[in-house]
Amino acid sequence: MRYTLFADHEDLRSAGVEYTAYPSTLGLEVILTGWKLKPSHALRLHLGLSIQPPVTSSARNDIRPGITAFMMQSSDVLTTSLHVLNFVVVDNLKNMPIGFSIRNTHTPSHELVVAFPPFKESLHFYLPHISVVLHEDTRPTENNPQGGITELEWWCAMVLMGSVGVLASWALWRILRTGKQEKKD
């Protein structure tokens, strides 16, 4: 599992899908090798998203062929967005479709669930865009005389993105641990 925080605009390609990585977005890459997933078994990745303040509205849009966007609005304070590639690379040669959804849960507040296809040798999944946009209020206030985003708001966004990383790591650890136990049986 690897995270990439993009500093610059980059045009990239994964699983036959071209996309743009924008500055300050986070990409998540999951690569499984040396592990078989039989057609009769299921492998799902659950990524918990702890979003504060709570999400007040959400939308799912196919922004272009091969990419689906999930936008989660937290009143007028922030927008959390995830762009999901609709395909993974299986066995280093085939681009296969995946199933995915966002579920509203109580703990954490939302969960991205990704269902992977069977594979014989390897699987490469890439989530190219995780971002948090704080809505800038340019009006000066007593606590923020310059207006704009405060340092506290910036740190809150970093904590949210860190939470996504920790929860994703934990989910992958559970998947791999369950797979090893299954191999022993």
Report pLDDT digits (tens) over 41-81. 878 888 888 888 888 888 999 988 999 999 888 887 888 88
Provide the token pair at 86: 């609709």
Residue 145's pLDDT is: 43
Provide the percentage of residues in the chain whose pLDDT is more than 70. Answer: 79
> What's the per-residue H, E or C state across 151-168?
HHHHHHHHHHHHHHHHHH
Is the pLDDT confidence value at 35 over 50? yes
Indicate the pLDDT class of residue 17, thresholds 50, 70 and 90.
very high
Residue 184's pLDDT is: 55
Which pTM value belongs to this model? 0.69
Domain spans of the chain?
A: 2-132+156-178
Residue 154's pLDDT is: 57
User: What average pLDDT does the structure give for the chain?
Assistant: 79
Is the pLDDT confidence value at 128 over 90? no
Pairwise CA distance, residues 146 & 140, whole Å: 5
Pairwise CA distance, residues 179 & 72, whole Å: 32
pLDDT in tens, 148-172: 445 555 556 666 666 777 777 777 7
Q: Which residue has the tokens 């071209």?
A: 18
Question: Which residue(s) pair with 42 in the sheet?
Answer: none
Q: What amino acid occupies position 59?
A: A
Q: 2, 29 in Cβ contact below 8 A?
A: yes
Q: Which residue has the tokens 């979003």?
A: 51
Closest of 85, 140, 73 to residue 110, by C-alpha: 73
Is the pLDDT confidence value at 139 over 60? no
Indicate the pLDDT class of residue 108, thresholds 50, 70 and 90.
low
Provide the token pair at 28: 């998540």
Pairwise CA distance, residues 68 & 97, whole Å: 12
Closest of 126, 117, 108 to residue 52, by C-alpha: 108
Q: 160, 80 in Cβ contact below 8 A?
A: yes
